[in-house]
Amino acid sequence: MRDGHCLIAQSGGPTAVINNSLYGIIEEAIYTKSIKSVFGAVYGIQGLLQNEYVPLHTLSKEKRNALRYAPGAALGTWRYKVRDQDISTMVSNMMENEIRYFFYIGGNGSMFVANCIYEESLRRGYDLTVIGVPKSIDNDVMHTDHCPGFGSAAKFLATSVVDMHMDVRSMANSNRITLLETMGRDTGWLAASCSLVKNVNQGLPTLVFIPEAAFSREHFLKKVKEAYDDNGYCIAVISEGIKDSSGHLLSENRAKGDSVGRPQLGGVSSYLSELIEKETNLKARYVVPSIWQRSSMGISSDTDTKEALGVGKHAVRQAVEGKNGIMTTLLRKNDRPYEVTYSSVPLRDVAGGEKAVPVEWYDYDRCDMREPFQSYGLPLIQGENSVPMQGGLPVYQTL
């Protein structure tokens, strides 16, 4: 192994536990003999392009540890559509700074970029170890059982649904149809997680609609009306990326491109709320937690926190073993008792892929998730975290 500096970057949407992966990499790297110093790229791709690095090895143990309890990307992140010349610039900057180890924490798009950086370093004959570290609340990264970040977002959403049930069921003769819109893009993992509430209380019926099953307006209205008639209220969870039988986004006329050229999702719950009031005699409202579902460290999963830390540490250990051009992964060994192990997969196998919810896990007639999802999701939301508090409010470490 060649001696040199280590560089870490965070990319894409933050999660409640992304800084645990950052902490894990730092902790392993500063005690690795072949790594001289540890740096972080400021705002992810922006720092990689503009040669803006900050030292991380000089942080005190106290500050490093405090990162574990802070949501959001401590180094900063940036959504940007990378071009071929950008990859060349990033590698040139790393060569200039004698970066020999590069760890990229991110989702599908980030793994694509990481693979491009790896291939460019090979083309130039530059000895650079590139390791991807998965994170995604959407849980759509290929070849890993699940992604750090998902468990905490799932716990937050399922908790929110329980709280919503307790509120609306206590109101007499004034309940509306309540729609909860989740993130997730083209996959329904987050919406599906709201079905986990039935493992705590069977008396909290929740309709779930995911992109993997074609959405029918008629079926939706029928199930909402039935739930209202049976319970006096209805709570329905809508994934932002639901599509009709033709594969079109339900609110496609409202969709705009985001900074990397993808449809800008969101707003489907508003559309469906209007549809309910237009087609039935029921009143409807919608709740959009938006970025809150990925930033709530106060309702985060201890399992998720520990695994985010674990993939970070394992990434450095794999680098020490001579692995290169890979992404760390989580492999599930058991559901009960829950047990995982860490492994890896080539970056080229991850880049550009997308892991969907198995459609056989979804009960279309009942608008609910079947038992296999319950066994899959429940272990990921276990355990609670205590965040530092001051004056009754959380205090988070920043860089």
Active site residues: 138
Q: How many CB atoms lie within 10 A of CB 291?
A: 14
Query: CA angle at residue 66 from 64 to 68, to 5 degrees?
Result: 90
Q: How far apart are CA 311 and CA 328, in angstroms?
A: 6
Nearest residue to 131 (alpha-carbon basis) of 355, 340, 311: 311
Burial annotation 267-290 (CB, 10 A radius, 16+ → b, else e):
bbbbbbbebbeeeeebebebebbe
227: left (phi over 0), alpha (psi -120 to 50) or beta: alpha
Which 8-state DSSP code applies to residue 249?
A: B
Residue with tokens 């590139």: 130
Report d(CA 111, CA 133) in Å as an integer: 8
Record the tokens describing residue 202, joined without a space.
């069977």
**Of 349, 332, 350, which Cα lies nearest the Cα of 341?**
332
Compute the half-sphere exposure of residue 312: CA atoms within 13 Å on the CB side of its CA: 30
Report how far residue 205's alpha carbon sits from residue 220's, in angstroms, rounded to the nearest whole number.
Answer: 15
Count of helix runs (H) and strand runs (E) in the chain: 12, 17
Encoded tokens for 335: 């559901």
Q: How far is CA 269 from CA 30, 47, 164, 330, in A?
A: 47, 36, 16, 33
Contact between 206 and 367 (Cβ < 8 Å): no
Find out whether 300 and 385 touch, Cβ atoms under 8 Å: yes
